[in-house]
Amino acid sequence: MAQESESPGLTVRNTDTAVVFIDPQNDVLSEHGANWDAVGASVVENHTRENMERIFKEAKARGYHVLISPHYFYPTDYNWAFDDPLETSEVHTHTFARKGPLTLEGLAGSGADWLDRFKPYINDGKTIVVSPHKVWGPQTNDLVLQLRKRRIQKIILGGMLANICVESHLREFLEQGFEVAVVKDATAGPRHPVWGDGYQAAMINYQFLAHAVWSTDETLARMQAA
């Protein structure tokens, strides 16, 4: 199987490659977020926030498209007839909760808001924030359309959570014919006393599925070499 040092075939350029970050939001990245107890150790160990910011900065400096696939729950979503285990937890903790799709009331500083350190990059008028994914993958939003309309063929992927939304986006991107490099330390995962370590589960699957699994250092070097 190809390892990090054995993936020279995937090259990135700002003409055909985009950075895609999943859920760069307070509830999964802030010490005050609803899910910090589950994900905080992984976020800190991987320097996830710092590495995401490094990639944001490099992408902006080198003219790469940056797309954000957020996760929001509106009041009408709490009327679903059934939820999976993580959705049940999200409902209980009001993770990514917003007042509604047509209002920003209460968003600023909430768990659904962007992490403050990312706001200068996301709110610059150039970053593409697509409609929210409603479960884990991009099948329910316009992310693939936005990529296709920009003739993007390759994706540098990171964000939260490693084994849930990031992996679900990876799988759909592969089905849609994109080449994908996952940045292994620009993501993090939850740890559960019974279910196990979600980050480690994701790392195994990334190696089987992704065209490349890079560190942030290698990602930046490849972006700079283009």
DSSP string, 77-113: GGG-S---HHHHHHHHHTTTB-S-TT--TTTTTSTTS
| CA 23/CA 71 separation, integer angstroms | 6
- Spatial neighbors of 60 by CB under 8 A, at least 6 apart, are 66, 121, 124, 126
Task: Taking residues 95-119, report their average pLDDT.
Answer: 94
Kindly indicate the confidence band of residue 93, based on its pLDDT and cuts at 50, 70 and 90.
Answer: confident
Q: What is the mean pLDDT of the chain?
A: 93
pLDDT mean over 200-217:
98
pTM for the predicted model, two decimal places: 0.92
Considering the chain, what percentage of its residues have pLDDT values greater than 70? 94
The CATH class given to the 14-225 domain equals alpha beta
What does the pLDDT read at residue 86?
67
Separation between Cα atoms, residue 26 and residue 37, nearest integer Å: 13
pLDDT, residue 2, reads 43
Tokens representing residue 12 in the block = 């990135």
pLDDT band with cut points at 50, 70 and 90 for residue 76: confident
Q: Higher confidence at residue 101 or residue 9?
A: 101
- In 3D space, the residue among 4, 17, 45 whose CA is nearest the CA of residue 218 turns out to be 4
Q: Which two tokens stand for residue 78?
A: 């709490």
- Quote the longest CA-to-CA distance of the chain: 50
Phi and psi at residue 119, to the nearest 5°? -60, -40
* Domain positions in the chain: 14-225
Report strand pairing: 196-197 vs 212-214: unpaired
Residue 139, SS3 per DSSP = helix
